[in-house]
Each structure stands twice: as structure tokens, then as C-alpha cells.
């Protein structure tokens, strides 16, 4: 009986540990925030989509949008670093294909905090804490968000550094 209990506990621990490294999903406000922030740095998001995301993120729902049309926001990887010794050190590296963007300071903190809010666990290293994700794929549907029902924003990603 003790062997059975030990095996069951080991399986629970292993499955919990494995889920921390598998694909994750964020929805609702945290997905809208993540997509809105990343879109501001993405060379792949059109000006019209970026403007719509800015309206949504600011709570301005009074704008025209084509019916049944969604906004896609994607990034290959995002790695944010927060200094825990040099507490003024904030930086994020965003990768969109061959295009890389570096943000620092307040913008990096905003992205770092939003990644944590979306459910990515932080990882520590000497003097720094990291929050990273890969394969970000967000879908934002302004028409659904305008209904104020809590839907219309979802992001899929893999937690951790590539």
C-alpha cells in the first residue's frame, strides 16, 4: 500500500512539473494586455490593427471594425530580465522572425509584469529574474470584446526560453 501511495505521489509531482513546461493559454484581460503590448513592437501588425488594439486596451469600444474579423499578434520569443541586485535594470528582447526588438525601463517592466500575469512563472539567475515565452500566438476579436462578456481575447504560448 505504501508503494502504491508513493507511486501515485510521484506521478502527481511529475505531471504537475510537466505542465509547467507545456503550452499555456491566457484569456480575457491578460491576453488583451499581452497582445496589445507586443503588437506595439511587432513589424507584422498593421497600423489599423495596432490602432484597434490601442482603443481596446484603453477601454474605448466606440470604433468601427469589420464584422467577424480578428487581429493576430505573434512573436517567436520574448525574454524579459529584471535585476534583483541592480533594481533599475529592466529589459526585454522580442523576436519576430529575423527582426529583434529591445525594450528597456518602464516598457520592459510593463511587458515583464504582463507575462507574469498571463501565467508564465519567473526563473531566477545570479542577480536577475527572467520571464520568457516562445511561440506567442494571440487572437483578438474586437466584436466579441465590444459585447463586454469577458471573451474575445486569447493567447497561446510555451513558457520558457527558446
Dihedrals φ, ψ of 57, to 5°? -65, -30
DSSP string covering 110-156:
HHHHHHHHTTPPPEEETTEEEEEEEEEEEEE-HHHHHTTSS-SEEEE
pLDDT mean by block of 10 residues, the chain; 162 residues? 37 37 88 97 97 95 92 98 93 97 97 96 89 97 95 96 60
Res 77: pLDDT: 98
**Is the torsion defined by CA of 116, 151, 55, 134 positive or negative?**
positive
Res 161: pLDDT: 72
Helices 105-117 and 29-39 sit at what angle, rounded to 10 degrees?
Answer: 150
d(CA 73, CA 75): 7
- The 10 Å Cβ neighbour count of residue 151 is 12
d(CA 123, CA 16): 17
The alpha helices in the chain, defined as continuous H runs, are 2-19, 29-39, 47-57, 105-117, 142-146
Res 11: pLDDT: 35
Amino acid at each position: 500500500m505504501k508503494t502504491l501511495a508513493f507511486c501515485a505521489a510521484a506521478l502527481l509531482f511529475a505531471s504537475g512539473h510537466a505542465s509547467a513546461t507545456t503550452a499555456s493559454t491566457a484569456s480575457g484581460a491578460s491576453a488583451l494586455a499581452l497582445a496589445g503590448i507586443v503588437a506595439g513592437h511587432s513589424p507584422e501588425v498593421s497600423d489599423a490593427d495596432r490602432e484597434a488594439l490601442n482603443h481596446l486596451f484603453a477601454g474605448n469600444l466606440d470604433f468601427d471594425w469589420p464584422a467577424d474579423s480578428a487581429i493576430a499578434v505573434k512573436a517567436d520569443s520574448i525574454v524579459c530580465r529584471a535585476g534583483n541586485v541592480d533594481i533599475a535594470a529592466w529589459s526585454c528582447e522580442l523576436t519576430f522572425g529575423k527582426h529583434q526588438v529591445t525594450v528597456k525601463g518602464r516598457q520592459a517592466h510593463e511587458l515583464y509584469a504582463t507575462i507574469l500575469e498571463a501565467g508564465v512563472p519567473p526563473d531566477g539567475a545570479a542577480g536577475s529574474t527572467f520571464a520568457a515565452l516562445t511561440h506567442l500566438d494571440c487572437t483578438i476579436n474586437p466584436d466579441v470584446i465590444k459585447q463586454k462578456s469577458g471573451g474575445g481575447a486569447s493567447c497561446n504560448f510555451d513558457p520558457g526560453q527558446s
